Amino acid sequence: MNLDTLAFAGSGLDRAAELRNDEAALAELAAAPGSCALLFWRGKPLITGEAEIVAERLPMSHPVLSDISERVFLGRDGSAGIFAFDLGAWTPEDTETAPTGGFLDLTEQRHPDLPKGSRFAELRQIMMGLSARDAELLATGKSLLGWHRSHRYCSQCGHESQMSSAGWQRKCPACGAAHFPRTDPVVIMLITHGNSTLLGRSPGWPEGMYSCLAGFVEPGETLEAAVRREVMEETQVKVGPVSYLASQPWAFPSSLMFGCTGRAETTQITIDPHEIEDARWVTREDLMRAMYGESDWLKPARKGSIAHTMLQNWLADSLD
């Protein structure tokens, strides 16, 4: 399968995991020439550029970072280190730029003390404009900082835990429990029957947008079983053979998408309205028109997503 259009697919970042518990080495790396900080605000990365979007790399000595007590070590680029910081305590003065809370947040926030032209933007909105390295760094930073925000308290005793291992762990000072960043496995499936594929949409999505069905893998369940169960739950369509295609980190908030293909054994659709808003069989011809923006009713999955990549490969007969 051609993965050239898949966002967050990895860039070979040296995560230097062997340094995460070496505070002296990390301090030396943070002070090394070229080491930099990536800044986030409410999950939005700081970016710059218009025609070419790049992650804004701040010097580790930047004044805005002086009030942030915690940092996450993302990895090493040659002899330089890359760290992520969360500016969550900042409140923009302009209320008109406040996040909308919709499916996609189009607002951008500019901090007066940060470089001119830089702004905080929704990662989903910019992901296809980023280099592979910046996409991997920003997805990793967003996921890790989001996990720290939502897992401040020990799940074993309830005491407030503390960031450790350069941000890749939290430890409880009361009971000693160690907690690790969470990644949720999700199956997303290209279900086909002859010349058609099964697509669905969730409430709140942009009008006309349909995508591959998806769902979380349950404890004790294989990927193949999860594909069959999720499709059955959402549409009552029975799925036979299932094959794995590819995976994609998806930092919204922190999932690993397992792309699979499956062959439908039945075609009658009965949706579960608690799960999805609609589902339908879409022909290759209808999907091709939608991919070229020529459909008056169908909008395909967002570019860069594994759903979009799987659908493109299905149209090109290049899934294998």
Residue for token pair 């290049």: 318
How many residues make up the chain in this entry? 320
Give yes or no for a contact between 85 and 71, defined as CB atoms under 8 angstroms apart.
yes
Segments of the chain assigned E as strands: 36-41, 44-48, 54-55, 58-59, 72-77, 80-86, 119-120, 162-164, 169-171, 178-179, 184-193, 196-201, 211-216, 239-250, 255-264, 278-283
**Tens place of pLDDT per residue across the chain (320 aa):** 888 889 998 899 999 999 999 999 999 999 999 999 999 999 999 999 988 999 999 999 999 999 999 999 999 999 999 999 999 999 998 755 555 556 678 899 999 999 999 999 999 999 999 999 999 999 999 999 999 999 999 999 999 999 999 999 999 999 999 999 999 999 999 999 999 999 999 998 999 999 999 999 999 999 999 999 999 999 999 999 999 999 999 999 999 999 999 999 999 999 999 999 999 999 999 999 999 999 999 999 999 999 999 999 999 999 98
Tokens for 42? 């409410």
Cis peptide before 253 (omega within 30 of 0): yes
pLDDT at 66: 94
How confident is the model at residue 96, as a pLDDT? 54
The β-bridge relationship of strands 36-41 and 80-86 is: parallel
Structure tokens at 205: 């999505």
Instruction: For residue 171, give the nearest of 153, 183, 192, 194 by alpha carbon.
Output: 153
- Domains contained in the chain, CATH given: 17-150 (3.90.79), 184-315 (3.90.79.10)
What pLDDT does 50 receive? 87
Structure-token pair, residue 241: 């053979």
* Residue 5, pLDDT score: 86
Instruction: Calculate the CA dihedral of residues 45, 50, 53, 58 and round it to 10 degrees.
Output: -60
Residues 6+ apart with CB under 8 A from 234: 200, 213, 215, 271, 272, 275, 276, 279
Output the pLDDT for position 100: 53
| Helices and strands in the chain: count of H runs, count of E runs | 6, 16
What pLDDT is recorded for position 93?
A: 84
> Under 8 Å CB-to-CB from 107, ≥6 apart: which residues?
97, 98, 99, 100, 122
Phi (first) and psi of residue 201, to 5 degrees: -140, 150
Contact 143, 251 (CB under 8 A): yes
Q: What is the pLDDT of residue 95?
A: 53
